[in-house]
Structure 1
Amino acid sequence: MDVQAYLSRIGFAGPAEEPSLEVLRSVHKCHQLSVPFENLTVHSGGLVQLDLPLLYDKIVNQRRGGFCFENNGLFSWLLCKLGFRVTLLSGQVKNLITGRYGPPQDHLVVMVSLNGRRWLCDVGFGAAGFTVPLSLDVTGPQELGHRVYRIRENVGMSYLEWQQEENRGQDGDWMEIYKFTLKPRCLEDFAEMCQYHQSSPSSIFFCKSLCTLLKPGGRLTYIGHKLISTTFPSEGTGAELETTTKELKDEEIPGILAELFGVVLKSPLVPKDEAITPPPVMY
């Protein structure tokens, strides 16, 4: 890895000689603002392989993005190179259709241990992700802009939950995002689920071509034949998110991806936005 090339790719310009919470928070947010969460390889005739040199070439040299196994897998390598103590964790995402959780190794997340404290890092969860690391040592709400997160534990399992601006508060409506254990994993543990998400009609990544990127004050999302622009409300206003949707023609999509997301594909994209089949096995 060329660490400086990676830091330049994500727009990080500060000093990073020593691992610190300030550096961790900064590179986490820079990654979110620079590297898309996308699955376009799946829909342009390619195959995602969990090999770190390949992920580095794709995300840094080709200036692409990826889904959780790619973004968090490569990000964990960067953190190791910067001197952080890193542990890969296995998560299970809650299915919005069935209300059940996905199988083990459904999601890859990263834990960083720093000065006696533990931090949850995740630069590979798209629109529901958090901009800076969350503390694993805090049980109460953690406010990040227009959202509030909390991590609760139950019988050896940790649960990540969130609230939107309009119902925030300890007694508000909490929505479960995913659950995870603190058992250390390695990147190879996720190979089977990486293949599953590229081939299963029960996976959003197989059923929909998508690309989303955090922007200052909002988010841009491409999915199928739509471009969705989201503007976040100002903190403390209680306002709701503002969302606009634009329908796209096939010939417009490559230009949109290049101009707004910085993504240039080597092979033609086949746009896709199909219904997701509920998985037969529930967890």
Structure 2
Amino acid sequence: MPIREKTDGYLSRLGLQPGQRPTAPTAEVLRDLHLRHLRAVPFENLSIHLGEEIVLEEDRLVDKVVGARRGGFCYELNGAFAALLGELGFEVTRLAARVHGDAGRLGIPYDHLALRVRTSDGREWLADVGFGAHSHYPLAFADRSEQKDPGGMFRIAEAGPDLDVVVDGRSQYRLEVRPRELGDFVSGAWWHSTSPRSHFARSLVCSRVAEDGGRITLSGRTFKVTGPDGTRQERELGSDEEVLGVYRERFGIELDRVPAVRNPDGRC
């Protein structure tokens, strides 16, 4: 089924009822969709540990979000969101980024996929529903001052020919401004899915923004609830039935078995 025929189903996944389809690609619509996506579609890497193929093609990504009612990691979430925005009339450019790691080291090329989105008023925004804990709303792309967001204090800073996305004084990732195609990120998705050095291959995560602005996260069998004020509660889940129940009731994900980390010790 063409992507345009799945748009209503996608909007329904984000909590929009029939008749609420956006009629113009405005900044207000983008902000609303961005937050809805973070609340409704989890950031998760379960496919890696369930042995499911990750295919970076727009129709497959939208099928996963809409048909399978799953989430994904950056390539999948921002890849699907880009397809939705494009169908709604937004001008979307895919951008590559390298995540800042320990000791300031940058990750691999095509480490992360983010979106540059132009709205009907000509303004451009950095939209990112696939980083995990990040801004709840799009960031003004041309603004180099601090931008207050429920997710923290953000700033887009010049870094030579690139840009650094900074939150609360710490650099998150270095963003290239050259337009990219979805297929450019296949090598990055493969590395993160298979490399013993990838934290995605060594651990399980499923996380989303909660309705109160906090975050809920299931890491393996540890369920964490973080309040909007930063307070955290966590508990260990016991039976497989309890784990599957949290996936179903708190993340809307139906699984027939509990995912198990395939490479927990980082060995090949």
Q: TM-score, normalised by structure 1?
A: 0.87
Contact 1:121–1:133 (CA under 8 A) maintained in structure 2: yes
Aligned mates of 2:200, 2:223 — CA distance in 1: 17
Query: Counterparts of 1:88-237 in structure 2 under 5 Å?
Result: 88-95=94-101, 97-114=102-119, 115-127=121-133, 129-145=134-150, 147-163=152-168, 174-217=169-212, 218-233=214-229
1:80 to 82, 86, 99: 86
Tell whether 2:251 aligns with 1:261.
Answer: yes
Q: Secondary structure at the match of 2:50?
A: coil
**Greater CA drift, 46-55 or 25-34:** 46-55
RMSD of equivalent CA atoms:
1.7
Contact 1:35 1:65 in 2 (8 A): yes
Map of 1:246 onto structure 2: 235
Distance (whole Å) between structure 1 residues aligned to residue 201 and residue 184 of structure 2: 20
CA contact (8 A) 1:152 1:159 kept: yes
SS in 2 for 1:16: coil
Query: What is the match of residue 60 of structure 1?
Result: 66
Separation in structure 2 between the aligned mates of residue 177 and residue 41 of structure 1, nearest angstrom: 24
**How many equivalent pairs are there?**
258
Q: Unpaired segments of 5 or more residues in structure 1?
A: 164-173, 234-240, 278-283
**Quick one: which of 36, 39, 45 aligns to 1:39?**
45
Q: SS of 1:41's equivalent?
A: helix
Cα distance change, pair 31–149 in 1 and its aligned pair in 2 (3 A): same
How many Å separate the matches in 2 of 1:250 and 1:207?
22
Unaligned 5+ runs, structure 2: none
- Write the letter of the residue equivalent to 1:54: R
State percent identity of aligned pairs. Answer: 36
Q: Distance in 2 between matches of 1:144 and 1:58?
A: 29
Partner of residue 7, structure 1: 11
CA distance in structure 1 between the aligned counterparts of 2:224 and 2:70, rounded to whole angstroms: 19
Alignment partners' CA distance in 1, 2:167 and 2:10? 30
- Quick one: distance in 1 between partners of 2:26 and 2:44? 29
* Partner AA of 1:101 in structure 2: L
C-alpha distance in structure 2 between counterparts of 1:18 and 1:5, whole Å: 18
Q: Secondary structure at the match of 1:158?
A: strand
Contact 2:243 2:258 in 1 (8 A): no
Say if 2:8 and 2:21, in contact at 8 Å, map to a contact too. no
Question: Cα–Cα, structure 1 residues 216 and 273, in superposed 2: closer, same or farther, change >3 Å?
Answer: farther
Aligned partner of residue 46 in structure 2, secondary structure: coil
Contact 1:223 1:273 in 2 (8 A): no
TM-score, scaled relative to structure 2: 0.91
